[in-house]
Amino acid sequence: MAHNVGRVVIVGAGTMGTTLAKLVSSKQWPVRVIDTNQAVLERCRTQLIAALGPQVIADNHLDFQSQWMADESITIVIESVTENLEIKQLVIAQAEAHCSKDTLIVTNTSGLSIDEIGQKMQYPERLAGAHFFNPADLIPTVEVVSGAATLESTVERICQFLTQLGKRPAVIQKAVPGFVANRIQHAIMRECLSLLEKGVVDIEALDDIVQFSIGVRLALNGPLLQRDLNGLDTHLNIARYLYSDLEDTHSPSALLESYVEKGWLGAKAGKGFYAWSDEKVAQRSANEGKRLSQIIDIALDNEKETGL
Ligand SMILES: NC(=O)c1ccc[n+]([C@@H]2O[C@H](COP(=O)([O-])OP(=O)(O)OC[C@H]3O[C@@H](n4cnc5c(N)ncnc54)[C@H](O)[C@@H]3O)[C@@H](O)[C@H]2O)c1
């Protein structure tokens, strides 16, 4: 089916770029994936052919390039390269040099400043952050973040595009480092690592407690809605005696630093908090997409049924 969206360019064919390309291509929109790393580009291509079928490429809906080419039909560029300010600025300069001045430029940064990313742009009013979550083709929410120069109409166009993709755009009122989700994720992890360091709980027990208490509930209710259900007076009473004891360090945990120093980077390195074999990694990822989709469906049904 033809669409009026024009060509969407996704820069970066890594973890996020691949699922972003899968998402946009699944809507039959023409997609170009650009990555300077030929091996990564080839892996992305293989994964997308496996997921969408070879016809997508044969129909010229999807192509893969290691460098930019000028193209007036590009309406949206989604930058999803390495989380590094200089690299992002370079990619955005390339986007401006090869697209029309009306092309929307979107950065998938996890929390770098939109103003700094757009600092050297000729037309920074068409830049905004659209922070997708991994895997981008499945997770519904996308945080939309403006810079000081971003036009209201840019935000509107990005939200419209995201809605057409079946996403739930969540506009952030004020750009703060880490936006919303990463601030919350890091607040949780700061306390988790602190509890491990203090020997309060072991790794397995901590994961079990979080996943099967607050974790399962969060799939149905956001934290504020959940507090309403539990009672704000009770929450306040606990907050009064607990906060002085919570972790409030301003530097990353020594435990985390030591893991990374030892090369314990998680599943990809065979060791993180847990030991990982190739079979274990394959087992974990085999049905992950299916399970995530089931949880998302339950959450959406719950929202529909309860009206909240
Ligand atoms: N991984 C996640 O869970 C996640 C979630 C949300 C957002 N993000 C953000 O998405 C972005 C990409 O993350 P990722 O996890 O996919 O990283 P990644 O390392 O898997 O992929 C980044 C890709 O960018 C490519 N690249 C680097 N410089 C380039 C250039 N000049 N031109 C073209 N390609 C270039 C690299 O070759 C690499 O393949 C980052 O900003 C990250 O913070 C990541």
For 203-229, write each residue's pLDDT tens digit. 999 999 999 999 999 999 999 999 999
Whole-number Å distance, alpha carbon 12 to ligand 1 midpoint, is 5
Whole-number Å distance, alpha carbon 11 to ligand 1 midpoint, is 8
Total Cβ atoms within 10 A of residue 91: 23
Are residues 121 and 225 located together in one domain of the fold? Answer: no
Are residues 153 and 195 located together in one domain of the fold? Answer: no
Residue 259 lies in a domain: no
Tell me, what's the pLDDT at 4? Answer: 64
Are residues 38 and 168 located together in one domain of the fold? Answer: yes
| CATH number for the domain harbouring residue 235 | 1.10.1040.10
Name which residue sits closest to atom 38 of ligand 1, judged by CA.
14
Taken in order 80, 82, 88, 92, the sign of the CA dihedral is negative
Peptide bond into 135 cis (omega under 30): yes
Q: How confident is the model over 123-138, as a mean pLDDT? A: 97
* Residue 46 in contact with ligand 1 by CB distance below 6 A: no
Are residues 78 and 126 located together in one domain of the fold? Answer: yes
Whole-number Å distance, alpha carbon 39 to ligand 1 midpoint, is 14
pLDDT digits (tens, 9 = 90+) for 160-177: 999 999 999 999 999 899
Are residues 37 and 153 located together in one domain of the fold? Answer: yes
CA 150-172-137 angle, to 5 degrees, is 95
- Whether the CB-CB separation of 92 and 127 falls below 8 Å is answered with yes
* Residue 66 in contact with ligand 1 by CB distance below 6 A: no
One-letter amino acid for residue 220 of the chain: L
Residue 54 lies in a domain: yes
Q: In the sheet where 62-65 sits, what is the strand order?
A: 62-65, 31-34, 7-11, 74-79, 104-107, 127-131, 141-146, 168-172
Alpha carbon 290 to its chain's center: 18
Are residues 64 and 92 located together in one domain of the fold? Answer: yes
Number of domains within the chain: 2
Q: Which of 33, 38, 79, 82 has most ligand 1 atoms within 8 Å of its beta carbon, as the pocket-test mutant?
A: 82
Residue 167 lies in a domain: yes
| CATH number for the domain harbouring residue 73 | 3.40.50.720
Residue 31 lies in a domain: yes
Are residues 123 and 81 located together in one domain of the fold? Answer: yes
The atom number, within ligand 1, closest to the CA of 107 reads 41
Domain final position from 172, 207, 225: 172
Domain final position from 227, 252, 277: 252
Residue 262 lies in a domain: no
Residue 168 lies in a domain: yes
Kindly state the tokens that stand for 288.
Answer: 């992950």
Q: Which residues pair with 33 in a beta bridge?
A: 10, 64
* Residue 42 in contact with ligand 1 by CB distance below 6 A: no
Tell me, what's the pLDDT at 305? Answer: 95
Are residues 40 and 139 located together in one domain of the fold? Answer: yes
What CA–CA distance (Å, rounded) separates 139 from 141?
A: 6
With cut-offs at 50, 70 and 90, classify the pLDDT of residue 277: very high
One-letter amino acid for residue 49 of the chain: I
Lowest-confidence segment of 52-56, 101-105, 263-267 by average pLDDT: 52-56
Q: What DSSP string describes 80-112?
A: ---S-HHHHHHHHHHHHHHS-TT-EEEE--SS-
Total Cβ atoms within 10 A of residue 243: 9
Are residues 224 and 191 located together in one domain of the fold? Answer: yes
Whole-number Å distance, alpha carbon 296 to ligand 1 midpoint, is 25
Are residues 196 and 128 located together in one domain of the fold? Answer: no
Q: How confident is the model over 184-200, as a mean pLDDT? A: 98
What CA–CA distance (Å, rounded) separates 7 from 240?
A: 54
Q: Which residue has the higher pLDDT, 52 or 9?
A: 9
Q: Which domain holds residue 82?
A: 7-172
* Residue 182 in contact with ligand 1 by CB distance below 6 A: no
Tell me, what's the pLDDT at 143? Answer: 98
Residue 288 lies in a domain: no
What CA–CA distance (Å, rounded) separates 220 from 289?
A: 18
Residue 268 lies in a domain: no
User: Nearest-CA neighbor of 79 among 105, 54, 100?
Assistant: 105
Are residues 105 and 21 located together in one domain of the fold? Answer: yes
* Residue 13 in contact with ligand 1 by CB distance below 6 A: yes
- Whether the CB-CB separation of 114 and 140 falls below 8 Å is answered with no
Q: How confident is the model over 143-150, as a mean pLDDT? A: 97
The pLDDT mean for the chain works out to 95
Tell me, what's the pLDDT at 237? Answer: 98
Phi/psi for 26 (5° steps) reads -65, -15
Whose tokens are 């993709």? That residue is: 165
pLDDT greater than 90 at residue 89 = yes
With cut-offs at 50, 70 and 90, classify the pLDDT of residue 285: confident
With cut-offs at 50, 70 and 90, classify the pLDDT of residue 273: very high
Containing 9, the helix (H) or strand (E) segment is: strand 7-11
pLDDT digits (tens, 9 = 90+) for 53-66: 888 887 878 999 99
What CA–CA distance (Å, rounded) separates 156 from 160?
A: 6
Tell me, what's the pLDDT at 115? Answer: 96
Are residues 155 and 109 located together in one domain of the fold? Answer: yes
The atom number, within ligand 1, closest to the CA of 82 reads 22
The atom number, within ligand 1, closest to the CA of 111 reads 43
What CA–CA distance (Å, rounded) separates 182 from 150?
A: 22
Tell me, what's the pLDDT at 308? Answer: 82
- Whether the CB-CB separation of 14 and 80 falls below 8 Å is answered with yes
Domain final position from 212, 237, 252: 252
* Residue 111 in contact with ligand 1 by CB distance below 6 A: no
Whole-number Å distance, alpha carbon 133 to ligand 1 midpoint, is 12
* Residue 90 in contact with ligand 1 by CB distance below 6 A: yes
